[in-house]
Structures are given as structure tokens and as C-alpha cells.
Amino acid sequence: MEKSGGFDITKNIRLVEWLKSEILTSVAELFRLLANGVRVSQDALADCLASIIIAAYLLGKRLGIPFTAIDSKIESKIRLGMIEEHDVEKHYGDLTSLSEHYKVRKE
């Protein structure tokens, strides 16, 4: 076992690789569920989406990006999508709903 930071670096690299794999696995599972059509439960879909989001946050942390920086980027992208009237906003108002969700979570 190395006394320098070598062991920690190796451990971090392994964790980054695992998180990348976890994201891909969760996305594949989401696609599989969606291919099954109407028989898919909302809980199973929510579980896949939650796994993807958690793994993305943890991957960001391992790459030196604080959770707050990711949150800030998400909020900026939401605002930009609202300003540019992205199709999902223009037709469904989903970005406005997501923006409100973020505001409530901060309170």
C-alpha cells in the first residue's frame, strides 16, 4: 500500500469508472423499461431516473465539481430554456414547473 496519494488516486479512478458504468447501466435500464411500453410502473421509471441523477452528482464530485456548482448550472440551463422558449417549455411549461420545484426545494 502506498503512503503517498497513489492509493487514493487509484481508488478515485476506480470510483469514477464505476460511476460512469452506473450511469450507462441505468440509462440502458430506462430504455429497456420504455421499450416495454404501458406495462412499466412509474416507480420503476422514477428509480432509474433517480439512479442516473445521483450517479451524475457523485461523478461530478469525484471530478472536482461541487454539488452546488451542478445545481447552479441546472438552474442556469432552466432559465435559459425558459428565455429561449425551448419546445418543452413552449408546449408544456415543463421548465417553469422545474424552476418552481427548485425554488420550493431551496426554501
Range of the domain at 4: 1-65
**Which pLDDT belongs to residue 1?**
41
Please check whether residues 40 and 87 belong to one and the same domain. Answer: no
Number of compact structural domains in the chain: 2
Please check whether residues 71 and 58 belong to one and the same domain. Answer: no
Whole-prediction pTM value? 0.87
What is the rounded distance in angstroms from the CA atom of residue 10 to the CA atom of residue 21?
17
CA dihedral 53, 24, 65, 63 (to 10 degrees): 150
**Which pLDDT belongs to residue 69?**
98
Q: How far is CA 83 from the centre of its chain?
A: 22
**Which pLDDT belongs to residue 36?**
87
Please list the pLDDT of the chain residue by residue as tens digits (107 residues): 445 556 788 999 999 999 999 999 999 999 999 998 878 899 999 999 999 999 999 999 999 999 999 999 999 999 999 999 999 999 999 999 999 999 998 87
Q: Are 19 and 59 in contact (CB under 8 A)?
A: yes
**Which pLDDT belongs to residue 105?**
86
Please check whether residues 58 and 25 belong to one and the same domain. Answer: yes
